Chains A and B, each alone.
Chain A
Amino acid sequence: EAQVTQNPRYLITVTGKKLTVTCSQNMNHEYMSWYRQDPGLGLRQIYYSMNVEVTDKGDVPEGYKVSRKEKRNFPLILESPSPNQTSLYFCASSSRSGGYLYDGYTFGSGTRLTVV
């Protein structure tokens, strides 16, 4: 089954304790992205990657890191989490078609992160 797998689904952590949210897709998609969703703000992009070793900042990158060493994986790293990073996080991927991104995204199931 074609899917984007995020782990964990729920995470409660303490301020300053480094954590990683994993994301993996099995569709051979070139494009991957991380979003955070907050009430009243919709989904805002954190980082995106157009291919292996190619990553760039989205609209709200502060406090986050990413890496893309393999095409299928795109982990999100919070080096020193703070309470304002409490949010719902989504990983998503997309294919290219003839050089254009035809489809919308395939989303993971989301990670609910609470930083206390």
Chain B
Amino acid sequence: AQTVTQSQPEMSVQEAETVTLSCTYDTSESDYYLFWYKQPPSRQMILVIRQEAYKQQNATENRFSVNFQKAAKSFSLKISDSQLGDAAMYFCAYRSESYGGSQGNLIFGKGTKLSVKP
């Protein structure tokens, strides 16, 4: 079974600085998707960025980028020019590319709480 591990329960960053959140996963599959979700105090789950495992190029969305290391099974999220509105819980998630049985399910890490200091 696949697992997702976020080893940093809490992180802190100064406004305008850069922070990297770590995520590792375990799978025997070769095709899958990885995601980062943001959960602000409003508790809404917001998709931040998505990475397809077959793509070597790291995904980027404005100030958010990932460092995807497939061989190492690592998927870190970098937030550049941190803003107060980035303060939230961040979840890393894995999803198999296959569809059938439980393979379409999103598997989440336990989350990293990010604080942004003004």
A binding-site residues for B, Cβ under 8 Å: 31, 33, 35, 40-45, 48, 50, 56, 58, 88, 90, 92, 94, 96, 99-105, 107, 109-110, 112
Contact = CB atoms under 8 A, between A and B. Distances in A.
Contacts of B91: 42-43
Interface string B5-18: 00001000000000
Nearest to B35: A104
Given A56-B102, A100-B99, A101-B99, 17 more contacts: A42-B108, A43-B106, A48-B102, A48-B104, A50-B99, A56-B101, A58-B102, A88-B43, A94-B104, A101-B97, A103-B50, A104-B37, A104-B47, A104-B95, A104-B106, A105-B45, A110-B43
- 7 closest cross-chain pairs (CB), A and B: A107-B45, A42-B110, A43-B108, A101-B104, A42-B108, A104-B35, A110-B43
Contacts of B50: 103-104
A99 B99 contact: yes
B105 A110 contact: no
Nearest to B34: A104
A48 B105 contact: yes
Interface of B: 9, 33, 35, 37, 43-45, 47, 50, 91, 93, 95, 97-99, 101-102, 104-106, 108-111
Decide if the interface of chain A is mainly helix, strand, loop or mixed: strand
A104 B33 contact: yes
Q: Which of A45, A50, A56, A101 has the most CB of B within 10 A?
A: A101
Given A42-B91, A42-B110, A104-B47, A33 B105 contact: yes
Contacts of B95: 101, 104
